[in-house]
Amino acid sequence: MTLELLQTGPLVPALEAALQARYAVTRLHEQVDPLAFVAAEGARFAAIASSAAVGFGAALLPHLPNLRVVSSYGVGLDKLPVAELHARAITLATTSGVLDDCVADAAWALLLAVARRVVQADAYVRAGQWAQDGTNRFALGRRVSGARLGVVGLGRIGQVIAKRASGFDMRVAYHSRRPVPGVPWRYEADLRALAQSSDFLVVITAGGPGTQHLINAEVLNALGPRGYLINVARGSVVDEAALLAALHEGRIAGAGLDVFDNEPAISAAMRSAPRTVLLPHIASATEETRAAMAERVVENLEAYFSTGQVLTPVRP
């Protein structure tokens, strides 16, 4: 008998095709009343395929008595009922491990772009201002080599970001809930102290209630008028109102952001914020990584139903 799988939101076409070839897939997002549908039909489903971008709410779970595994496309957890899944011993898997390099690359792209004013320099040349000036009067950027890097969250991606810093001869320190064994970088238990001692503060911690507005006005003030914020984590981790105020008042030097509150409909204030480089949440968006993520969703499901274990679980 073909296993029944509930898909909670749109997924990339290759992944949808792979799931349909292996399971009896029902797309919850295509139902007129998703909650009523699950209340009536939820007992059919042993598995969920979801995503970090869409996720699903805890309200579904009481209607899914036979749910055994959730395989999510992406690594974000803030739109998934993690605690409720663990409480019921339902296995949760993400695509952790296959997107680390590309997210780290994007963090460094933002860091370099905002420090060296790459986007503004491109606009300066395209507008003909260089030719009009006669000499290069473009504003000076900020040196990256030899600077101080602070990493907020030293999980797999955070460690890749920190390793990249060695190529720039940077001094690296990090903040997390507890020290990470076996790493060569300095641990800083006080986030404000880390910000104060950093030229560039890269945020790559998990989202969710535990990190809501972790980067607040106090942290931004500690980062100071010579410091840059880079966020490739989740928009919820940064107090966006505090960030906008800090940017407009010159209390930080600039920001490179891949994630935002209320994305994709980010505020006009953010779109016009000075000294920023803004990306449309594309840190993992390369052909190679997105293909690997799709494969990992399927691999996790297949591993679970053949061995009872997934390749990349989210631990309680």
Which residues form the catalytic set?
234, 263, 281
Residue 56 phi, psi dihedral angles, 5° rounding = -165, 165
At 279, which helix (H) or strand (E)? Answer: none
- Distance, in Å, from the CA atom of 229 to the CA atom of 252, rounded to the nearest integer, reads 8
Give, rounded to a whole angstrom, the gap between the first and last alpha carbons of the chain.
31
**CB within 8 A of 32, min separation 6: which ones?**
none
* Exposure of 199 in the CB half-sphere (CA atoms within 13 A): 16
CA dihedral sign of residues 11, 15, 21, 24: negative
Pairing of strands 4-7, 276-278: unpaired
My answer on whether omega of the bond before 184 falls inside 30° of 0, hence cis, is no
Sheet holding 4-7: strands in order across?
A: 24-27, 4-7, 47-51, 69-73, 91-93
Residues 6+ apart with CB under 8 A from 42: 6, 60, 63, 64, 65, 67
Q: What is the dihedral of CA 167, 173, 179, 180, to 10 degrees?
A: -10
